[in-house]
Structure 1
Amino acid sequence: MITDARVLQPEFIPREVQHRDAEVNYLSSVLNPITEGHRADPALLHGPSGAGKTCIAQYLVEQLREAVVDLNYQYVNCWEDHSRFKTLYRLLDGINQTVDIHRQSTPKDVLLERLRDTNDTPYVAILDEVDQLEDKSLLYDLYRIPHLTMILIANNEDGLFTAIDDRLRSRLTDCERIHFHSYHESELLAILQDRVQWGLRDDVIGTNEIEFIAANAGGDARVAIGILRRAARTTRNSQADTITPDSIRKAIPEAKSEIRQQTVDRLTAHQQILYDIITEHGEIQPQRLYNTYADRTDDPKTKRMVRNYLSKLEHYNLITAEGNTKDRIYRVQQ
């Protein structure tokens, strides 16, 4: 039934992309100087999760690597590699410069100098979840490396720019911004049809069933692909011949729960504390939330940083926030 399991994974980069022509053309034009040996201006891809930001960035870099003989590239998920050291280590790993680096003893400045002093081969760095960087000044340092081009990805540009200082803001304010909207059902239908064609045996699933999946994905391609993957696995394990509406109905909550758990597993220590407090209380006001959070950690972040953390939890549908600043109530998303 499943002919290519890779196609059913959210991180799979398709051979062609659907319903993102404007975004592809825009980012392609921004990156075009690289084909002539020059650094491109930074680009910021922003919009809701599951809207294709990461997929488009990686797709276009792959296209660039086919067009440019010499091109270094690295993808960094700043939610996972959120410290200055980890991000620089990942970037150096992209050019095989980490052999003698020790995580406990090598100074962070050494990593930056090594990255700066590498040859002039164009280097494209995709910094996903860039608003999760603990030290945003790293973006300023990376901006000053002549041969390095940054593609920044975030859910909300405000969440990024409100957390940086004036020096960095002046550099990034004019970066090319590309907004991604949530997919419409018809767009998700086309994406799913491609995945079915590439990853499943013929006649395994009908158009009505694919439309059913698209209608229940909430505009999120990750959810849509997750539902398809879950339904296909259930059908295969039951030794049935086709994916039925019943198997899809069962797969919908399972896929959403899987994505939710993956998101929870990626939370930083401080985000996890905040999430746990909200979960324990059911609903809680900002001041009480902050006070409880501060009591549970030896190194509490500022209220401004905590608001950024909470905004991130909202973007990934882990919590909801109702009311204005004074009367706001945080609740766990059901």
Structure 2
Amino acid sequence: MITDARVLDPTFVPAETQHRDAELNTLSAALNPITRGEPAETALLFGPSGVGKTCIAKFAVDQLNDTVANFNHAYINCWQNYSRFQTLYRVLEGIGQSLDIHRESTPTDKLLDRLRDYDGPPYVIILDEVDQHEDTSVLYDLYRVREVSMVLIANREVELFTQLDDRVASRLTAAMRIHFDRYGVAELVSILEDRVRWGLREDAITTDQLERIADAAAGDARVAISTLRTAARNAVEQGRNQITDALIEEAEPKAMAEIQQKTVQKLTEHQRLVYDIINDYGEIEPGELYAEYRDQADNPRTERTIRNYLRKLCHYNLVQAEGEGRRRVYRIIS
């Protein structure tokens, strides 16, 4: 049944995209100066999870790579690279300048000096989940390097800008903004049809079943594609030639749980501590949560930072908040 498992992975970047022509054209216009050997414009991509931000960013850079011989590019996920040093290391790694850098002993200033000395071709850096970064001053570091251009990906513009200091915010004010809305059911169906065409046998699933998957995914392509993949895997394990309605019904919660578990695994040390405290308490109000966090954490973050973490946990459907002000409580979404 499965002819190419790669295309059933939500992170797979296809050779063609659907329903994001306007967003892709806008981003391509921001990157276009690179075709003349000049730095691109800074671009900000905003929108909820599963709406194609990362896919379009990578796709646009891949297109550019096919037409422009002399430029560098790197993709950096700020979930994993959330410190200034980690990000600078990845930036230098993208141009082969990190081999003699030691993570434990090399001072950050040495990385900055090396980056400032960069005089190569235009360099595009995609910073995904940039609102996860714990030291956004690194954006100022990158902005000051003439040949470096940034594509910044975040969920919400307001939440990103509240984390920026004035130097960074003022420089990003004129950046190209590209907002992504949730997919409609028909759009998700056509995306799934592509994945079926590329990765499954033609008669493995019906259009009506794809519509059911798309409707349940609520505009999130990751959930839709993960559900399709899980149902297909279960069908193969059971020796079936077609995906049944029962397999889809079974796959939907499994796909959601898989996405949730992967997100939990990506949390930083302090975010995971906040998540675990909420999980242990079952239900907890903000003041009590911060007091417990402060008691347990080594080098605890500020209360404002913890509020940012809570918004992020809610956004990724790991935690839900109920009530307002002092009556607000947080609980884990299971």
Interval containing the TM-score (normalised by the shorter chain): over 0.9
Per-residue deviation, 1:326: 3.2
Per-residue deviation, 1:88: 1.2
Identity %: 57
Q: Which residue of 1 aligns with 2:315?
A: 315
Q: Which residue of 1 aligns with 2:62?
A: 62
- Report the AA paired with residue 162 of structure 1: T
Q: Which residue of 2 aligns with 1:330?
A: 330
Q: Which residue of 2 aligns with 1:2?
A: 2
Per-residue deviation, 1:75: 0.4
What secondary structure does 2:211 align onto? helix
Is 1:31 matched up with 2:20?
no
**Contact kept in structure 1, 2:235 and 2:247, CA below 8 Å:** yes
For this pair of structures, how many residues does the alignment match? 334
What are the ranges of 5 or more consecutive residues in structure 1 without an aligned counterpart?
A: none
Runs of 4+ residues deviating >4 angstroms: none
Distance 1:298 1:103 in 2: 21
**Which whole-Å deviations, capped at 9, do the CAs of 1:242-288 have from their partners, x for residues lacking one?**
11111111111111100000000011111111111111222211111
Give 1:42-53 correspondences, 5 Å limit.
Answer: 42-53=42-53
**Which whole-Å deviations, capped at 9, do the CAs of 1:80-100 have from their partners, x for residues lacking one?**
111111111111111122211
Distance 2:186 2:321 in 1: 30
**Which whole-Å deviations, capped at 9, do the CAs of 1:114-161 have from their partners, x for residues lacking one?**
222223311110000101111110000100110111000011112211
Distance 2:50 2:124 in 1: 22
TM norm structure 1: 0.98
Give 1:143-158 correspondences, 5 Å limit.
Answer: 143-158=143-158
Distance 1:48 1:320 in 2: 16
What secondary structure does 1:320 align onto? strand
Distance 1:161 1:326 in 2: 26
What secondary structure does 1:58 align onto? helix
Q: Which residue of 2 aligns with 1:165?
A: 165
Give 1:78-157 correspondences, 5 Å limit.
Answer: 78-157=78-157
Distance 2:99 2:120 in 1: 20
**Contact kept in structure 1, 2:84 and 2:137, CA below 8 Å:** no
Per-residue deviation, 1:203: 1.0
Distance 1:91 1:58 in 2: 16
Is 1:19 matched up with 2:26?
no
Is 1:208 matched up with 2:208?
yes
- Report the AA paired with residue 87 of structure 2: T
Distance 2:162 2:14 in 1: 34
- Report the AA paired with residue 242 of structure 2: T
Distance 1:236 1:176 in 2: 45
RMSD value, Cα: 1.1
**Contact kept in structure 1, 2:126 and 2:150, CA below 8 Å:** yes
Give 1:259-274 correspondences, 5 Å limit.
Answer: 259-274=259-274
What are the ranges of 5 or more consecutive residues in structure 2 without an aligned counterpart?
A: none
- Report the AA paired with residue 63 of structure 2: Q
